[in-house]
Structure 1
Amino acid sequence: MAKLTVQQSLLLTISSILVSVTYSINPFVLEEQLIWESSDEGEVSTYRIPIIIQVPNGDLLAFSEARKYSAADAGAKFIAMRRSSNGGQSWGENTFILNDYKIPDGLNLGTVLVDSVTNSTILIHTFCVHSVCNGTGEKPSGVFMVTSSNFGYTWSDPVNLAEKNPELMDLHFDPGPGYGIQKKHPPHKGRLVTCGHGPDAEVRSMSCLHSDDGGITWQLSLGLAGLPFGETKKTGDFVPGEVQIVELKNGTILANVRNTYSFHCNCRIQALSFDGGSTFPMTSMRMKQELIDPNVCGSLLNFNDNQILFFSNPFNAGSRVNLTLHWSLDAGNTYPNLMNIYEKGSAYSCLTYIDENHIGLVYEKDNISSISYVRIQLNL
């Protein structure tokens, strides 16, 4: 028998340790609260695209698109935010941190990232990404960011990512929606990464923006290209869409992706990056058939940098109903465990870490009539 190298012996040791660790999770919903409700009255018609993240002072920040005149993706919006300083048990007042006034195709979320080096919070959003408002004399279309150095109490003016990288000028790229990450492990430790997709049907692909200087400059890398490339897509084609990424403990980035045109199955796409989000080799791609999905945005959470991953989506092959929490005990290889959150109409969702025994979830409820927050106890 050939002698094992030091590296091979180390890998076997680590693998045996991971296999020997067993987790027992028996989650239940502690409480649920409506934090936004759509209405025909007032200055907001519909709240959509919920995002939640924990900032370094422990507060939870929830964000949404406050669509002014209709539920349509293209249209004038605010970006709304609410804060909880007690793990989601209560929420502060609704505030609008961005306003596009009456632009026919204005703001869209977006991802939120936290830079643990500077304790800054970065919100990535788009402007005129659907090309409706070109030629109106407004600021150029593209991807923008606002930053906060005080945990979301105040925000900077929007900055076009193309200001430091002209290659991103007029970039048509939909980040997330969800959250971005800062890598904790090599390769590219400290890198900020946020992934999304292009809205153009012919060349739609999943791609990522990354920054190695704390969000000052950003570069775009190709993740997974839609196939057949350059052609109008139809049902059954490979069209990766909205995406949530997490980092695993070995430095690999794992992407859970919307399977927009139901390639192979009505389920999720999963892919890996071994170079900090620069590439996602097709050989790493898997169809997660146990994660049945009706073609919608889902959320993925690495719980406290260990083997436990949580995933949320409407667990139904054809309809946006039955919001479900799934969890994996083997870093996303399998998802044998699940718990129903809400059986009726439910769509986009986003997960967050709260503490060593709790996670939070925001989701679109009852045919996008409201956005609800759920606090979940894990019983680890």
Structure 2
Amino acid sequence: MRFLYNGVFIVLSLALYSQEHKTQILDYKVLFSAKNNTKVSCYRIPAIVTAPNGVLVAAIDERVPSCGDLKWSNDINIVLRRSNDNGITWSKIETVVDYPLGQSASDPSMIVNKVTGDILLFYNYMDLDQEKDVYYLKVIKSSNNGKTWSHPQDITTQISKPEWHKDFKFITSGRGIQTANGTLLHTLVNLQKGVFLFGSKDHGVSWYVLDTPITPGDESKIVELANGDWMINSRVNSKGFRYVHKSSDNGETWYTQPDSLLIDPSCNASIIRYTSIINGDDKNRLLFSNAKKQGNRMNMTVRISYDEGKTWTKGKTIYSGSAAYSSMTVLNNGDIGLFFEKDNYAENVFVRLTLEWLTNGKDVYKRDK
């Protein structure tokens, strides 16, 4: 919003609310941008979580020589920023993974372990000088809400197979989940063979992979449904819409169907659990964000499902222009944090949303008494 004061346009960037129309003027906070950075080509692949103490942790690729993906860039680092006040202010950029020139780390994703209080940050690694096109899968851990991180652990042999050594494989960026029984779950993509689930039943001490390929699918996200079933929402290239896979037997078998209403330009998306009756909330709610347009990465939209992903609302447009990858989290105060690529990757912005605004006042988040 702009207004004229003494002949000068003033930009109003605060989030305002109209009592009459419940209208929110979105405040896009630019967390990462290479516009005025002569040392970095671009920042890409956003991931965001809420730490056990409520701190927001936003991680991303710092792509130095070019905007190219892992196999095309010999200098990609993982950097992050943190917020202690639900996204109002943010720390300076901190580097958490930085290899010597010729080695790169890419595609951050995180899982918050609510049992131990740890945050696990996964990424894909490549040594372009010694093993070009060979992907390794690694994880680091923070036990103090993202302030410091452990040395990397290579889990490639635990969640992959020897015969996949030279396959195009990677951990999906964004986030994984922790199920109701404490199991950690995440998605691994092998573009030659399908999507695979990997997980840990001992809080990340050891890892395993489920030997059940899920197809079709590229970058995919998993949620646990209210009845304990698992649901994966997948990017499928050249289709123009998402595919949904469901399992009621802990991933041994899957039922797959397209969701033609979830239109998509072949892009990574985000799906998270917002509220759950079993956890004391008034309703079961899932949230889904993506570039809601076929053919072009634009029109960032957030939708809500009240029936565990069977149907979705039309959604609310967050940004109608160029937009691509996105990642969501639930803030401690019940607001929704959305972190997404904007304007052809020129900016990576954070925006805070409310359920009331998303539903035009028809639904309101009810805090615990």
* TMscore range, shorter length: 0.7 to 0.9
1:174 alignment partner in structure 2: 170
**Equivalent residue runs for 1:1-380 within 5 Å:** 28=24, 30-39=26-35, 41-74=37-70, 75=73, 76-103=75-102, 106-128=104-126, 132-135=128-131, 141-162=135-156, 167=161, 170=165, 173-184=169-180, 189-199=181-191, 203-226=192-215, 239-262=216-239, 266-276=240-250, 278-281=251-254, 284-306=255-277, 307-355=284-332, 357-379=334-356, 380=364
1:230 alignment partner in structure 2: none
* Cα distance, 1:287–1:29 mapped onto 2, change above 3 Å: farther
Q: CA deviation at 1:108?
A: 1.4
C-alpha distance after superposition, 1:243-287 (max 9, x if no partner): 11111222112111101232xxx11011112233x3351xx2121
* Cα distance, 1:311–1:361 mapped onto 2, change above 3 Å: same
Does the 8 A contact of 1:111 with 1:194 survive in 2? Answer: no
Does the 8 A contact of 2:328 with 2:337 survive in 1? Answer: yes
Q: CA deviation at 1:40?
A: 6.8
Runs of 5+ consecutive residues of structure 2 not aligned to the other structure: 1-21, 278-283, 357-363, 365-369
Q: CA deviation at 1:48?
A: 0.2
Does the 8 A contact of 2:135 with 2:169 survive in 1? Answer: no
Does the 8 A contact of 1:110 with 1:174 survive in 2? Answer: no
Q: CA deviation at 1:329?
A: 1.2
Runs of 5+ consecutive residues of structure 1 not aligned to the other structure: 1-25, 227-238
Amino acid at match of 2:229: T
Measured on the aligned residues, the alpha-carbon RMSD in Å equals: 2.2
Cα distance in 2 between the residues matched to 1:333 and 1:367: 32
Q: CA deviation at 1:119?
A: 0.5
| TM-score normalised according to structure 2 size | 0.82
C-alpha distance after superposition, 1:19-48 (max 9, x if no partner): xxxxxxx88455221111024744321100
Cα distance in 2 between the residues matched to 1:256 and 1:163: 26
Residue correspondences, number: 324
Q: CA deviation at 1:167?
A: 4.5
Amino acid at match of 1:285: T
Counting aligned pairs with the same residue, the percent is 27
Cα distance in 2 between the residues matched to 1:286 and 1:352: 26
C-alpha distance after superposition, 1:24-77 (max 9, x if no partner): xx8845522111102474432110000010010001100000001100002111
Amino acid at match of 2:351: V
SS in structure 2 opposite 1:303? strand
Cα distance in 2 between the residues matched to 1:135 and 1:193: 28
Does the 8 A contact of 1:29 with 1:376 survive in 2? Answer: no
